[in-house]
Structure 1
């Protein structure tokens, strides 16, 4: 074998997975299409990642957390959900952790490019991990003996196990013959930072207006990341605006809740699609990260589930290696798939159903939306369950 584990995709999930094996006897090769300088110095892409307490713990275990600049780790104190033009909110306050004591936050917000850079730095120190950048994967195939990847440069690599961590539209997943539920929401996400005169109180807000959705992710007290979701057919109405005019639109939507607002950086946009693989493994292959599950961002689960998948799979592989067992055995991969499916499938379909309701502007749906918020607010067990999911 050229390597023990072949990881396709050098994003945060693929790198977090590789870092799990620091100091082990297993050899890993990570294949990434982007050039090495993109991994070393990832550009800012507008995405602010809401990290649960569990995700922060995983990043600490992997020696990634300490590499993120402390002044760029932002406190997420609590969260509120608004419906339409009503001021009534579903409020998720600061949680009390099971280990005892009160925390001062639901979680943390960290820019995607800072996580990617820190993950790269941690993996670059691993003597048993090889990073091959700047070349794509042309084809993959597996059998009961090995997994093989044919690269765009004409070379090929054989491994005991292949791990796909490439993207929501994973070509590797398709070549492995793994089907997936794809959900095109027909919407575009527009993200940008704003500065404002009134404090955001470190409170995240999800505002389900009519015709568009606005999420506010608090960074500094007077710095907030705005995430506007709008139908693809109307996205040009916002993307064609000058940045200053775009911010004025948000200020109007908020009815001045953050005071005077101005743009604080660049504007980015992305298509909104969700995906959930029918299973997370094939013969000598497994899926992690977005190749396994790509979530709607409204519940901020996507990145956290990707970290969980890397952690779950890696720990089972390391345990098998210590016991002298086959790291690519069907039983191991099937157990990983079962456990991660048990965690992700209800979240994926539940989130999509919730988004379907809260973006439906028909009169009956509007009434149901308001009733759902009030019901959730006044059912402590349900509210506690949702809070536990938010904090991880």
Structure 2
């Protein structure tokens, strides 16, 4: 059942549940509540990780009201919710709190469960990142949980920049995304610190989770300072032996088929080599472009190449490609799930015919709750046999 939680007080305090709702009658449903915030509170930018035992963890960032953690009552944190039945019922289990800055964990959470050891952390460790900021700066921090998300310890600072400011010429960092590739953790993020670019996409790597290599470009427009690519999400496409990165590409006062933040993508042999890849916009039928805060996953369902699935901010639908990322092969598929700012997608590891869509509030604010939809990809894409491969893992 969904939780309507009145408030969250100091770290470790109990949440008060209200208005319990009956669970949906099947494993497939749309717009099912995870958390209903009190009036004046906005919850958005959810991120999801599936643990080895099938448990789902969802973290999100919260603005407004009294949904805060800290002795002075005004330090934001990321609440973490758990489901052990495929997204049907949920409970709050912890908060990811700022343990080093006194600024809070303000926005843009990221989650990942380790399946192989790294830096002394065993498989099953859950890593979390996010942006901690104040008027003094922005800091992308890394935390770890050894008990499936119930408690968190500080690990390291990945990188930092200036105060949160989206004006070109300012120098903050934004929007981390985590990937465990080979023997390293990669943290992707949006970077305004390079004076040659209003904003670019970059990543840093670590073998021990403590020390971090230099920033490496993923998407940077060398002849267009005003371009602001943002919101990196990466997925593996096993049949192609390729990696895909999706991002929004704001284009100033103009638009692409009605989208001011049209979604673009690149392919690469390795998830560290996107800067050399060709760029493609997602355009549907030559006249429609998805807009803003994209997310991408791959599912083995949908034919010999499986299916790439992309979400955006302005549509409840998703956008699919079953022809190996062919730029001319994108289709729009209705889901019944509502639109939301920076929705997350997830293909279940043990049930790759199930696609989860998790969303909170819209960018401009509509008092939406945090919800999940679980869709049947066999119906969504047709009864085609799945392609061998594991979704969401390298």
Between structure 1 and structure 2, the one with the greater Rg is: 1
Do the structures match in fold with TM over 0.5? no
TM-score of the two chains, using structure 2 as the length reference: 0.26
Structure with bigger RCO (C-alpha 8 Å, 6+ apart): 1
Structure with a larger share of its residues in strand: 2
TM-score of the two chains, using structure 1 as the length reference: 0.26
Structure with a larger share of its residues in helix: 1
